[in-house]
A and B are shown apart, each in its own frame.
Chain A
Amino acid sequence: MAMITFKINRYNPDDEKRGHFVQEYQIDVPKGYTLLDCLNDIKWKLDGTLTYRRSCRSGICGSCAMTINGVNNLACETQVLGLNCSTVTVEPLRGYPVVKDLAVSLDPIVRGLLAVKPYLMTKTPPPTDQERLQSPEEREKLDGLYECILCGSCTSSCPSFWADKEYIGPHALLKAYRFVADSRDECPGEHLEPIDDKHGLWRCHTIFNCVEACPKDLNPTKAIAELKKELIRGKLG
């Protein structure tokens, strides 16, 4: 158990005059408590107005992504005593419009995601007697790509995104590669064309913040490198 101070960024859209401000809460944190457990304690016992998104509390829904001590992560996967500091700063995900307190608008994520056409695209009709087959080796290529929970941590951590809010974002590029790398997808060009743009993958400068931020340990920069190679191959013919 330890007394931990939480400095949480607050914002109420119904109180524009107050704007953004920081509120401090102090609670006794037992061993094993995640940040989500702490937020729940604060909300249920101290301040019912504290607003944040959460659902599965087991690191799979992606709802509780936020900026904790200056790094993006899921609140439900962050061990507060493991942060090794007596003051924890909790902010809504960097770079997205704040709806209320720690809840942000994910419109920038959705926009980028839909642009890459994030669904299997085929030209040939599916077999009538079975599913579209894939060898184990072909299936292995999707490891590290399909597990994305769309939490938004990566794009929120990207300096290129901070500089250019039109940047499609590492999350969308990872998703694009998930389909380009899928042996069953027959239209890679459909996923590649929207990202070949000045607001597309050419804004990636291999900064690697996304890799550090991803709570599922995925590597968007690696996927982007493969996409760049695909695009160049296409241009050189």
Chain B
Amino acid sequence: MRVIKRYRIHMGTFAWILHRLSGLGLISYLLLHIWVISHLSGGERSFDGIMHSFGSPMFKLMEIGLVGVILFHLFNGLRVTLIDMGVMVEKQKTLFVIAVIIWLGTWFAFSAIMLSKMGLLPFTV
């Protein structure tokens, strides 16, 4: 066969793969979201109806996942923008580590608040 060993995935490669996948996920979500929000045109019953069908705990947990995807794409996107402006290009790995730390921090905070609102935590945030 032509290739024996998969080419190594470096930190920068990993960041790009995740950014791409999260982007594709988010645009799919956006199109769905626009359709869901359009139920506003149908009035209170129509809107509350569709929002209720997305109200189960499983969907709420998926929402926490969605917030994680949004935040990753956001912070890595800011990293890409900095690099594109020529800022800290040599320190791109450090930038990625910082972006991941901020991502995990904010995601954790959001998740704690969202879970507490669902009553799933033994305390309120």
Contact = CB atoms under 8 A, between A and B. Distances in A.
Direct A–B touching, Cβ under 8 Å: yes
Nearest to A95: B7
A91 B83 contact: no
Given A206-B80, A221-B89, A91 B5 contact: yes
B4 interface: yes
A170 to B, nearest CB: 13
A98 B86 CA distance: 36
Contact of B84 (A206, A208, A211): A206
Main secondary structure of the interface of B (DSSP, over half): loop
A159 B8 CA distance: 11
Contacts of B11: 208
A113 B74 CA distance: 35
B2 A9 contact: yes
A89 B7 contact: no
B4 A229 contact: no
B86 A229 contact: yes
B52 interface: no
Given A221-B89, A222-B86, A209 B12 contact: yes
B86 A70 contact: no
B3 A94 contact: yes
A94 B10 CA distance: 16
Interface of B: 1-8, 10-13, 16, 80, 83-86, 89-90, 92
